[in-house]
Structure 1
Amino acid sequence: MSDAQQRRPAESAAPVCVAVGELESFVGAVLQAAGADAPSAEATVRALVGASLRGVDSHGVRLLPHYVKVLQGGRVKGRPEMRFEARAAAVGVLDADNALGAAAGYRAMAEAVKLAETAGVGAVSVTNSSHFGAAGAYALAAAEAGYLGLSVCNSDSAVLAHSGRDKFHGTNPISFAAPVAGARPYLIDMATSSIPFNRVLQFKALDRELPPEVVVDAAGQLTRDPGRAASLLPLGGATYGYKGAALAGMVEVLSAMLTGMRLSHEIPNMIESDWSEPRRLGQFFLALKPEAFLPGEAFAERMAEYLRALRKQASLPGERVMAAGDREWAVERQRSAQGIPLDAHNWQVFTALAGACGVAALTPI
């Protein structure tokens, strides 16, 4: 790649697109250079590039430098020895051995699907895991296999308790996905905070102002400056945040109490803690087999009927009523054809990673 090609993205505010396949190869090569084995790297590529493809940029390939740091620092094992134990007909526990979170997440959902194949339902809790990126990756994996999927994970404190002064819950994401015959799945993928913490970091890196009423500063005052953000507001904001706080609490029960892992306020900070210290995250995955509840194609037919009725709803001028996942699949189609955009900051970081890890640098489309 020429010097002009390397400078072009960094000198422009406009993002530069990279072909999906090339980005997958780059991310995988960097992870393996940092110490990940092939299965761990493949799972993480699938999660990160998949999130970027769907437009979930806050949890996409921009997380690659962080994963390199935790691999090199020893917080995460690049070659884990994960152990799965079936505890009942439809229940299992996966000890992730401090693996990359994506490796643990995909393995856990695959085990949940296996349980559901015979029992109709499969529930798997995960111990000793780490940051797993976008929760939607794992619910989506279940839906793509023909199952309903649920994935949740708590995280270090970043969100105010409703009516509280200090951060208490993590962003505690929830994802649910359902298969749709002949189409991409129905997909919910959301934090229980008003905005994900990684989105705040993204706005800070781009020097952009935040939306109103999503964060507060150290004094507890609302701010739109990502550099002053001290805590996030729960989903629902200052008035209705009790709803988001309750959902965050549910995630705590499933991810921490059910696994014996750390509560949000006990988890070391993702960025500021020692890179060699495992964070001992717990996670929870659920798979449901539709045919165990309804005969034949009944579920698929009802799902199609629901989506048709929803999308036919009258919309406001200039708007369109969409089902959960519709926006993501539109972005996926566009980026699959045109490439995944990288902003100037990430381009600079990835160029530096290529040099440090001895892998070929990315080239713009």
Structure 2
Amino acid sequence: MTEPQRYTIAGLEAFLESALLAGGADVPSANAAIRAMMHASIIGVDSHGVRLLPYYLGVLASGEVNGHPQIEVSHGAGSTAVLDADGAIGHYACYRAMEVAVDIARGQGVGAVTIKHMSHMGAAGAYAKWAAEQGFIGMLVANSDAAVRLFDGRDAFHGTSPIAIGAPVPGQRPWLMDMATSAIPQNRVLLYRSLGLTLPQNVAVDEKGLHTTDPHAARTLSPVGGEQGYKGAALAGLVEILSSPLTGMSLSTELVPMYGKPSTGAPRDMGGFALAINPAAFIGTEVYGAIITRYLANIRAAVPAEGATGQPMAPGDREWKVEDERRVKGVPVDPDSEKAFAELAEKYGLTLPAKA
């Protein structure tokens, strides 16, 4: 494995900002993308972090992503709303949708927002985490172009179809689940190629539909669940229903591919769904806080199985540990991304980020 160089958080943020603005994003779009990419890189979700900067600049340049969107929100019946992202970069669309959902839930108890005409939004956990930090249970799902086979299928059918849920915990960082419904995210396959790593067993198949651990031979991802992969495929179906039929956007099999072809400039028209739940609308916040605090304490006090490599953890615990370490030591950047950053710096006349 190639050991990646580490960079300072401030240096990466400054480089992302200068590159996105130079590449055609307006300030709100750039700020949202920086927040979401740095969220992923700081907590160790490197596949969805700063390494995606060249991709976003490419689709901004082609017109596939609208760098100056006019986002519109239409409030519907009860506690619902529809957000038309106008082709915005997905980070901007999803942060805005979660803000609307939280605002509705503050008064109505629950806020549900569908998202139309958006693009790739990185790590879905960024938006669920933000809702939890406001004191709300937040959920964000979105479909994407087909990259994952059905259980017993050969060809790509669903997207990686992420599900992210964050829950507030008094005095602590949130309970945070952020998972693809594929066995491994597509962007992690690309990261493994850059780092020279072998894929885990049974997470991807080659062009013949045979399992492979070679990231260069991987063509289609498998649904999460292994021998019970029908569960992962069903969860992907749930994401598809909330992201396509409910929003009027394209199915995963109909979306413009993220990779593999030069961008045509055609909008991706992805759909998504944001949900916010106000615990105070159902039970006193003190009761909620006491129970969820006790729940997490019970998880962390659970007895490890014989031969286990660590202590049982709540969703998010691993990420918070990585965050603490990276805020001190810096964020690692893989070799392919370092090369791409150097090319971008030369193209736009930018200063490369400072090394940690």
2:104 corresponds to 1:115: yes
Pick the aligned partner of 1:244 from 223, 228, 232: 232
Asked if 2 retains the 8 angstrom alpha-carbon contact of 1:351 and 1:362, the reply is no
CA distance in 1, matches of 2:30, 2:148: 30
CA distance in 1, matches of 2:313, 2:285: 27
Gaps of 5+ in 2: none
Please state how far the C-alpha of 1:85 moved relative to its aligned partner.
0.6
Pick the aligned partner of 1:160 from 133, 149, 153: 149
Aligned counterpart, 2:272: 283
2:250 corresponds to 1:262: yes
User: In the TM superposition, what whole-angstrom CA distance separates every residue of 1:69-128 from its partner, at most 9, and x where no partner exists?
Assistant: 000111001100010010123100000000000000000000000000000000000000
2:318 corresponds to 1:327: yes
Aligned counterpart, 1:55: 44
Aligned counterpart, 1:8: none
Asked if 2 retains the 8 angstrom alpha-carbon contact of 1:149 and 1:286, the reply is yes
- Alignment RMSD, CA only? 1.1
User: In the TM superposition, what whole-angstrom CA distance separates every residue of 1:127-179 from its partner, at most 9, and x where no partner exists?
Assistant: 00000000101101100111000000111111111111211111100000001
Please state how far the C-alpha of 1:296 moved relative to its aligned partner.
3.5
Asked if 1 retains the 8 angstrom alpha-carbon contact of 2:191 and 2:334, the reply is no
Aligned counterpart, 1:103: 92
Asked if 2 retains the 8 angstrom alpha-carbon contact of 1:26 and 1:362, the reply is yes
> Would you identify which runs of 4 or more consecutive aligned residues in structure 1 move more than 6 Å?
none
Aligned counterpart, 2:164: 175
Aligned counterpart, 2:10: 21
Aligned counterpart, 1:6: none
* % identical aligned pairs: 48
CA distance in 2, matches of 1:17, 1:200: 21
Asked if 2 retains the 8 angstrom alpha-carbon contact of 1:236 and 1:244, the reply is yes
Aligned counterpart, 1:39: 28
TM-score, length-scaled by structure 1 = 0.95
Alignment of 1:183-332 (within 5 A): 183-237=172-226, 239-273=227-261, 274-316=263-305, 317=307, 318-332=309-323
CA distance in 1, matches of 2:231, 2:180: 12
CA distance in 2, matches of 1:325, 1:296: 21
Secondary structure at 1:242's aligned position in 2?
Answer: helix
Gaps of 5+ in 1: 1-11
Which amino acid letter does the alignment assign opposite residue 284 of structure 2?
P
